[in-house]
Amino acid sequence: MAFDRTTPPGEATLEQTPEADYSLEFGHTYVPPEEVTEFVLLSPAQQRTLAAWADRLVPAGGSWPSAAEVEAHMYADNCAARSPLLRSMLLRAVELAEREARAAAGRAFAECEEAGRDEILLGIAAGDGGTLFDLVLELVFEGYYRAPRVLEAVEERTGFKVSAPVDGIEIEPFDEALLERIKGLPSRYREVRR
């Protein structure tokens, strides 16, 4: 990138990452869900942290799977890996959750009880990490609502096929005979001279 002032180019360090309008990056980071097969950014420990975070954002309930069950956190990892800004922000978010967990409970975020995780996440959302929390929330939601199991649950419950606007639906061919009466009607406008 010609105007990327990070060193090395394309790699922003955690300290260089601005609290920017990160949503502008989303159009450049889309990953087709079928291509999300492994983590590309996070270490195994960071993966566990993000999975635990995702499960508190979208816990399992009834026929609905949790976010980690459908690997929404892996989708977040893959999307963030495509943007220096999102990559740096996601790493900062995971680091912040770990730091807060160690300070509050003396152990890793993923090892904390659900109530402890909730308290840590509420603190992050309400504090200086609010933008980082919002980023994780949006990435996890995007991954969750692209997961085939979730799309099936939505269709089963509502009858709405989420992919229909993109994939299209089959409809009956249009009967042009329906226009015959309209074609025979007089014009409803008049010619205007210039």
- What local confidence, expressed as pLDDT, does residue 56 receive? 97
pLDDT per position in the chain (194 positions), as tens? Answer: 333 334 444 444 445 455 567 888 887 888 888 899 999 999 999 999 999 999 999 999 888 999 999 999 999 999 999 999 999 999 999 999 999 999 999 999 999 999 999 999 999 999 999 999 999 999 999 999 999 999 998 888 888 887 777 778 888 898 898 888 888 888 887 778 87
Q: What is the pLDDT of residue 19?
A: 55
SS3 105: helix
Type of residue numbered 155: E
Q: Reduced to 3 states, what is the DSSP secondary structure of residue 59?
A: coil
User: d(Cα 116, Cα 142) in Å, to the nearest integer?
Assistant: 25
Distance CA 101, CA 84 (A): 26
* Among 49, 141, 36, 149, CA closest to 100: 49
**pLDDT the model gives residue 3:** 33
Residue 153, judged by CB atoms within 10 A of its CB (0-12, 13-18, 19+), counts as middle
